[in-house]
Structure 1
């Protein structure tokens, strides 16, 4: 009797446990193990340095902070995104037809590898498949201002 009650309790616990979905667990969308080597630490770095404003789901904060998820401005240029992560941004931008004018602070302490990991994570979730954005790519991006910045 005790064994069957324990089994029933375990079944109930597992059937009621929250299920990871692609919405919640964006790392589940990445199947390439090499990309995962960058994306796993990139997710942690994103959550530490970016998610407070852009949110964990990348949808931003209403009309104050622009989204990254499904954002034309973000998708346009990995170079510009890496530059903004390091150097911040001020002035008006248009994202998906909506204007934003909240300054983003710089992250000067992030190393090129860390920026590469954040970019690799972000550019390989929410339906994007950019692949690895390497540290050397990022170093190159950081040496030269992107066009239109």
Structure 2
């Protein structure tokens, strides 16, 4: 009986020490997390905005709706017309545009995004679905685009 109690007590101490060791390892791992770059933070915030405000028309995949809403996926318009892209997200868009060789003539209503939200959503779409920008969209750049 004494040996059994001694064994159980020893086992409890071992398990307790093991849990403390695992906790220290976990705590150490938490400290070593890599910080996101400013672009990664902007893209993350932009994805959330896109899902709430843009995906209804351009779809979650960025493919758009043929003949109605242009694709953002692999979009030559986004990559070649940076200022126009900022203007469209900030103020909406009315009139014909050509994206990847296809004409679109619809209205994109302004969705009321703040300048930082414009930055974030553009950094998301300009770096998703085959799009890649060398320079991230900045708040100063968005503020310079006037109606």
> If the length of structure 2 is used for normalisation, what is the TM-score?
0.69
Greater C-alpha Rg? 2
The answer to whether structure 1 residue 72 and structure 2 residue 104 are counterparts is no
Q: What is the RMSD computed on CA atoms of the aligned residues? A: 1.6
Counterpart in the other structure of 2:108: 104
Q: Do the aligned partners of 2:79 and 2:133 also contact (CA within 8 Å) in 1?
A: no
Per-residue CA deviation, residues 13-38 of structure 1 (Å, 9 max, x unaligned), is xxxxxxxxxxxxxxxxxxx7221111
Deviation at 1:113, TM superposition (A): 0.6
CA distance in 1, matches of 2:134, 2:127: 6
| Unaligned segments of structure 2, at least 5 residues | 1-35
Structure in which a larger fraction of residues adopt strand: 2
Contact 1:35 1:131 survives alignment (8 Å):
no
Could you tell me which residue of structure 2 aligns to residue 25 of structure 1? none
Aligned counterpart, 1:6: none
| Counterpart check, 1:124 vs 2:113 | no
CA shift, 1:59, in A, is 0.6
- What SS does the corresponding residue of 1:63 show, helix, strand or coil? coil
Which string of whole-angstrom CA distances, capped at 9 and with x for unpartnered residues, describes residues 79-99 of structure 1? 111110111111111111111
Contact 2:55 / 2:62 at 8 angstroms: preserved in 1? yes
Q: Could you tell me how far apart the structure 2 residues matched to 1:34 and 1:58 are? A: 23
CA–CA distance in structure 2, aligned partners of residues 48 and 60 of structure 1? 15
- Whether 1:40 and 2:62 are equivalent positions in the alignment is no
Report the Cα distance in structure 1 between the residues aligned to 2:110 and 2:133, rounded to whole angstroms: 26
Equivalent residue runs for 1:4-15 within 5 Å: none
CA deviation after TM superposition for structure 1 residue 118, in Å: 0.6
TM-score normalised over the length of structure 1: 0.68
Q: Which of 89, 95, 103 matches 1:85?
A: 89
The C-alpha deviation readout for 1:29-78, integer Å capped at 9, x for no partner, is xxx72211111110000111111100111110122111011121121122
